Homo-oligomer: A and B are copies of this chain.
Amino acid sequence: MQESDWAGFFADPQALDSDAYIKLEYYLECVGDPELAAAHFCAEQSTAQWRRVGSNEDLRPRFGARVIGLEVLGTQPDFSYGIGNAKGEPVHACRVTIAHPHGNFGPRIPNLLSAVCGEGTFFSPGAAVVKLLDVHFPDAYLAHFEGPRFGVEGIRDMLQAYDRPIFFGVIKPNIGLPPDVFSDLGYQSWLGGLDIAKDDEMLGDTDWCPLQERSRLLGEARRRAEVETGTPKIYLANITDEVDRLIEQHDLAVANGANALLINAMPVGLSAVRMLRKHARVPLIAHFPFIAPFSRLGNFGIHSQVFSKLQRLAGFDSIIMPGFGERMHTSDEEVLANVDACLGPMGSLKRSLPVPGGSDWAGTLKTLHDKVGTVDFGFVPGRGVFGHPMGPQGGAKSIRQAWDAIVAGVSLDERAKTHTELEAAMTAFGGRRS
């Protein structure tokens, strides 16, 4: 690219029709002139060649991605992470903001991904280290997407649960149990006070625990628990499967009494989820495998908040995500960014219920509530309910007792004196001496 050509990949954001562009934030390490690197980066993700040989046409004004912000954060002797080859030249760490014309691909998730975090992004010349930090969609683009059908309010209405978190639990042992004993664990947890008993993200439709039988038994157990407790409940069945089985698995599980469905978003594919969303009659809830390998590093890959936004775009009513604490290898800041991606404004799309999870039990509820700063979240223990020494009913009770203590402004220690299940949880999971 000649220096005279760079200008075609830069723009004053005020001069652009903001409805026509997706705004992208990237971290980028490059050698040489950062402006040239940023221009190349835009060319690679849009119209790398902007005219035919022998023609004077210029495709850039309509089809070019444009640099609308460029900040050099610092200079370092080499690329980060031991990749790339700076050949002794200084490496500039930059933050680049790009306006990308979505007319290049339209409201299609696979084509969006191919443009904003595909070959162009990760194979720009001399820029081996790059991270897509965030994406901002104009309302005009979002208007083409269905988004969540139920959202936070829809899930609350189903459960008649307001002004408090939604209490999930992952039935454990996660894999290996036959449907009858597995469903009994779910039943016990509902009696104890869970809103939503769920299949593990690794439990699919297998010969030792077929979805047909499992959803039939858990659907029945859910209805019995609703009658006994006088409270609506949700059985969240995992229908993660090959794409050409999703619709039939939805129909089967819902007919059997599953009233929400779990899908491992990235392993199944976001576009397949969008397809299912058009058909689905119950809330769709995302689990997070296959995101951390993109998102864990500070300056390489794709930030997890991008995936949360895309999952909401694809139509998930709730998004289970790595939560707080060292165990989940995720900073508080990153968890909160993902919570915001679920709950913050996004055109006319409904809000998605964030469920930050990981090794939770009654004792972690207050911290989680304090950190997210809202009751619009889901709490999803596994062992904290199903590994409770008094069984899943006691485990679920310990969670509700912890919430009651929080609402009453009483410490867990205080509340545990009069509530056996909470006391047992604190001994089993909190390192407390009984």
Contact = CB atoms under 8 A, between A and B. Distances in A.
A128 interface: yes
Contacts of A115: 202
Interface residues of A, number: 94
Interface string A108-119: 111101110111
Given A105-B202, A120-B202, A278-B244, A173 B81 contact: no
Contacts of A241: 108, 110-111
Nearest to A395: B53
Nearest to A279: B244
Nearest to A64: B176
Interface residues of chain A: helix, strand, loop or mixed (majority): loop
Nearest to A288: B119
A103 interface: yes
Nearest to A292: B122
A7 B63 CA distance: 59
A328 B205 CA distance: 40
A125 to B, nearest CB: 6
Interface stretch (A15-23, A70-78, A298-306, A408-416): A298-306
A200 to B, nearest CB: 9
Interface stretch (A148-156, A213-221, A261-269, A363-371): A261-269
B175 A47 contact: yes
Contact of A327 (B125, B177, B267, B389): B125
A205 B114 CA distance: 13
Interface in A265-294: 266-272, 274-275, 278, 287-290, 292-294
Given A47-B174, A383-B49, A271 B271 contact: no
A46 B175 contact: yes
A229 interface: no
A239 to B, nearest CB: 10
Contacts of A322: 123
A141 interface: no
A114 B289 contact: yes
A370 to B, nearest CB: 22
A128 B391 CA distance: 31
A185 interface: yes
B271 A243 contact: yes
Contacts of A163: none
A240 B269 CA distance: 13
Given A105-B202, A271-B269, A290 B329 contact: no
B243 A206 contact: no
A396 B84 CA distance: 31
Given A172-B48, A204-B105, A240-B110, A177 B59 contact: yes
Count chain B CB atoms within 10 A of each CB in A46, A176, A274 and give the residue with the most.
A176
A115 B175 CA distance: 11
Interface in A65-89: 81-85
Nearest to A272: B243
Contact of A174 (B49, B176, B205): B49
Interface string A321-350: 010001111000000000000000000000
22 contacts: A45-B202, A49-B174, A49-B382, A83-B298, A103-B207, A108-B204, A109-B267, A110-B243, A111-B264, A113-B266, A114-B201, A114-B264, A114-B267, A114-B287, A114-B289, A119-B287, A123-B327, A128-B296, A269-B272, A272-B272, A293-B300, A294-B294
Given A113-B266, A293-B302, A296-B300, 8 more contacts: A53-B387, A83-B297, A105-B204, A106-B204, A111-B240, A128-B296, A244-B275, A269-B272
